[in-house]
């Protein structure tokens, strides 16, 4: 299969849903919607929603009714970027090649736009699901995954660990703990939510979870490497920021080549873990490889 074509198609599918999910700026409070749309529709790769879709497809489910659940992960991801970029946190001026949300709308609006996006993720997942063929129980399971992956035991917890670790000596085990929370848990949630949508059995959900944990780690390693070797054009934001901040990363432990090799090993493990799935899991397999080879 042509993975680039697949990713393009699924990204467009997600983008169409995202575009119509938010009221336009003509509705009150117009500034809030403008600010939410500015960041949500800034043209990301939509990796997390596509993982949800690909996991559901691996189990034979491919109905558009899953899009609100897939999109909810992009809502959470986008809110986290807006809050992370704030002066009180990473203080970044650029994101995806454009000014960050607070540089355009001010810190207060950026905080509120993030809050609204996070809340709306749960609104999307709790809508009447009768059209999707999902049971209320499945929807509840999805919401539990989403809240776990994005909250104090997941993404937010990891973000706090990351801040606490800045300019401190951090060993490899602690670095892994930070990343498995900060980026890993939401990727894990994305894949597991796809599994729940597709009606995965317990062993199937377990296989998918293993896959997600492996690619989550690979994703973070690739991010660290890109931050070191990527150009400003490729990244759409400043490069080399981790080093400047004195942050420990995978390349700082293993060197660039060592980190790359570690990423490749994760991917191999991720793909091996999908052996019980048939060709319908090919997108998941190709996404794994894509993650470590991407340039931005």
Choice between 161 and 191, CB closer to a second copy:
161
Pick the binder of a second copy from 70, 118, 225, 284 (CB under 8 A). 118
Contacts of 131 (CB under 8 A, 6+ apart): 65
Secondary structure letter of residue 65 according to DSSP: G
* Spatial distance between the Cα atoms of 30 and 75, rounded to a whole number of angstroms: 18
**81 part of the interface to a second copy, by CB under 8 A:** no
CB of 226 to a second copy, least distance (A): 24
Choice between 107 and 238, CB closer to a second copy:
107
Please give the size of the binding site for a second copy, defined by CB under 8 A: 52
Angle (CA) 2-5-6 rounded to 5° is 85
Lookup: tokens for 7: 């990713």
**116 part of the interface to a second copy, by CB under 8 A:** yes
Site for a second copy in 163-202 (CB under 8 A): 163-164, 177
CB of 188 to a second copy, least distance (A): 15
**73 part of the interface to a second copy, by CB under 8 A:** no
**DSSP annotation string for 75-141:** HHHHHHHHHHHSTTTT--SEETTEE-HHHHH-HHHHHHHHHHHHHHHHHHHHS--GGGT--HHHHHH
Choice between 29 and 43, CB closer to a second copy:
29
**109 part of the interface to a second copy, by CB under 8 A:** yes
CA distances to 5, 139, 143 from 21, in Å: 24, 18, 18
CB of 56 to a second copy, least distance (A): 20
Chain centroid offset of residue 262 CA: 21
* Spatial distance between the Cα atoms of 100 and 130, rounded to a whole number of angstroms: 38
Task: Enumerate binding residues for a second copy (CB under 8 A).
Answer: 23, 28-29, 31-33, 36, 79, 83, 86, 88-89, 106-112, 114-116, 118-120, 122-123, 125-127, 129, 135-137, 139-140, 143-144, 146-148, 150-152, 156-157, 159-161, 163-164, 177
């Amino acid at each position: 299969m042509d993975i680039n074509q697949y990713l393009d198609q699924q990204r467009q599918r997600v983008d169409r849903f995202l575009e119509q999910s938010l009221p336009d700026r003509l509705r009150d409070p117009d500034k809030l919607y403008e600010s939410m749309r500015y960041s949500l529709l800034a043209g990301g790769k939509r990796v997390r929603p596509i993982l949800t879709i690909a996991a559901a497809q691996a189990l034979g489910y491919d109905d558009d009714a899953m899009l609100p659940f897939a999109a909810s992960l992009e809502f959470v991801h986008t809110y986290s970027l807006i809050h992370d970029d704030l002066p009180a946190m990473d203080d970044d001026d650029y994101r995806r090649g454009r000014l960050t949300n607070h540089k355009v709308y001010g810190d207060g609006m950026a905080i509120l736009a993030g809050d609204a996006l996070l809340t709306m993720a749960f609104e999307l997942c709790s809508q009447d699901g009768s059209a999707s063929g999902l049971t209320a129980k499945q929807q509840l399971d999805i919401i539990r995954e989403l809240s776990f992956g994005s909250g104090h035991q997941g993404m937010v917890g990891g973000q706090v660990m990351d801040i606490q670790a800045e300019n401190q000596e951090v060993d490899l085990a602690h670095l892994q703990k930070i990343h498995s929370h900060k980026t890993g848990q939401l990727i894990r949630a994305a894949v597991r939510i796809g599994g729940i949508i597709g009606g995965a059995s317990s062993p199937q959900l377990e296989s998918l979870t293993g896959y997600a944990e492996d690619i989550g780690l690979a994703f973070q390693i690739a991010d660290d490497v890109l931050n070191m070797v990527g150009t400003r054009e490729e990244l759409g934001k400043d490069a080399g920021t981790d080093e400047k901040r004195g942050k420990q990363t995978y390349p700082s432990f293993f060197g660039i080549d060592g980190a790359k090799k570690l990423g490749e090993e994760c991917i191999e493990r991720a793909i091996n873990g999908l052996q019980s799935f048939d060709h319908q899991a090919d997108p998941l397999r190709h996404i794994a490889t894509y993650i470590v080879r991407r340039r931005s």
